[in-house]
Every structure is written in C-alpha cells, then in structure tokens.
Chain A
Amino acid sequence: MQWNSLNEFLAMGGYGIYVWPSFGVTAVCMVWEVLALRRRHGAARAALVHPSGTMDVTS
C-alpha cells in the first residue's frame, strides 16, 4: 500500500486534479455504454412485440 491516509490517496501527490478526471471520465463512459446498450436491446425487443414499422428502434 502506497498511502498513509485517504486524503493522501485523493491528493495523488498534488496530481489529483489530473488523475481523478482521467479515471472518472473513463469509468463514466464505460458504464454509460453498457447502460445504453441494455436500453437499446430492450427497445429492439420491444419493437418486435409491437412491430408497427414506424417505431424508432435505433435510439
């Protein structure tokens, strides 16, 4: 373990403002992609139940 306290860990030796946005945005993007794909699959399946032909299933 490299750190003696939580504050030291969050500070990242003074580079926290660069390190945490990098990890944070990466995490947000990857989680968002998974959620968006689950929504898209749900929508695609729903369009099969109601095959109106006019429904937008690409969103």
Chain B
Amino acid sequence: MKMERINWFQWSSPQALYPLAGKLIPWFAWWSAVCITAGLYMGLLVAPTDFQQGDSYRIIFVHVPAAWMSMFLYVVMAGWAAVGLGLKARPSFMMAQAIAPTGALFTFLALFTGAFWGKPTWGAWWVWDARLTSELILLFQYAGVMLLHASIDDLRRADRASAVLALVGVVNVPIIYFSVRWWNTLHQGASISMTAAPKMAATMLAAMGIMALGFWLYSAAVTLMRVRSIILERERHASWVQMERVS
C-alpha cells in the first residue's frame, strides 16, 4: 500500500466531521450489534455456571464492559478536551461534549448492575467500598461536566470551562482502577491481569471480551450520532449547514 500523507487538519472542522461521522456510524453500529449478539449468546447460553457464585456471576457480562467503558470514555473525553484546549479546535470540544452522556450512562449501568450483583453476593445493594464510592464520584463528574457546559450561554466559554473540569477530574480514573488494590475492601480484584493467568474459564473470558468490544463499538456509534446533532445545533447559521436542508 502506498503511503500517503494525511492532512489531519482536513478533519479539524465541523463541516468535515459531520459527513465523516455519518459514514462511520453504520459500520460501528452493525459490528456492535454483531458483537453484542455473539457475546450474549456465549455469556448466557454457552458459558458454564460458576462453581462459587452460581449463575449470578453472569451479570459480569454487562457489568464489567459497562464499568470499563465508564472509565475509558472519561479518559477519551478528557483527551478531546485537552486537544480542544491546546489547539482551540471546536470539533474536539464537540467530541468531548458528545461523549459525556454515554459515559454517564455506562457509569450508571456499572453501578446498577453492580448493585444487582452485590445483593446476592455480598448481601447488600450498596456498600461504601472504595471501588463503588469512586465510581459514584465518576457519575457526579460526568454530570458536573454536562451541567457546567449547559449552564454557560457563551459556547466558547462553556467548552473551555467544561474541558478544564473534565481534565482535572481525570485523576479519579486511576483511583477507581486501582482502588481494589490500594484499599482492602469488599469489591473483588481485577478479573483480568496483564501479568497473571486469567482467573476465569476461557468461554467466560471470551464472552466478556466480545461484550466489551461490542460496547466499545456501540459507544463509538452513539458518540458520532450525538456529535452530528451537536454540529447541526451549534452551526445552524453556517452556510454549509443550511445546504444540509436540501440534501
């Protein structure tokens, strides 16, 4: 394949991002549907019953992918916020703004499914464990970033202020991740480690991995869907947006 020089700044305008996102959405959406279907099939029908937790452990197939996405999306949001602040690029701020609700949704789902797993496993819906508490704080951080953006009328100031808040808050992500090691609390340790052999059966691990990939693809699809709406809402007086009316 011939190497071509890519002009990255070509994509750094809302006008370029809008059709690019439109082309990528179906691809992400279909593959996410394929992965989630395969993951549900493997997780609910093929994977064996856990010898300790019985079938309650199957919650892991939505809980862990949701929890991973909640942290991953925050880092990506903060990354776009940093690029936006550094390059004063509007599409970067728009991407950060588009990620926040999906990140908040997955944070809520991680907490909700965690409660439904905690009840049969620990006997409590909620405990003030380090992992649970730091994840709850993450939900408030997403809410804070969204509320701050919504509360400032001047969009450029809203972008910058919420970007700074998102960046400062990124310190909580390693705290969530390492909380099960730093504090000896109720939440179990990591199911997957880079250095140790997996603690799970191969089919369980595969189902969780495929579900995580499916959630990742889903997040990409809905983020791009949202950024397209944000572009139309924010740029509706631009001449190229007015052209969208006829297309």
Contact = CB atoms under 8 A, between A and B. Distances in A.
Given A15-B54, A49-B245, A41 B232 contact: yes
Interface residues of A, number: 31
Nearest to B29: A34
B245 A30 contact: no
Contact residues of A: prevailing secondary structure: helix
Interface in B15-40: 40
A14 B49 CA distance: 12
B225 to A, nearest CB: 4
How many chain B residues sit at the interface, stated as a range, is 35 or more
B183 interface: no
A40 to B, nearest CB: 5
B48 A26 contact: no
Contacts of A25: 109, 112-113
A55 to B, nearest CB: 10
Contacts of B49: 2, 13
Interface in B119-140: 119-120
A19 B56 contact: yes
Contacts of A12: 55-56, 58
B45 A2 contact: yes
B59 A48 contact: no
Contact of B112 (A1, A14, A22, A41): A22
Contacts of B108: 29
Contacts of A58: 233
B88 interface: no
B119 A44 contact: no
B102 A44 contact: no
B46 A2 contact: yes
A41 B222 contact: no
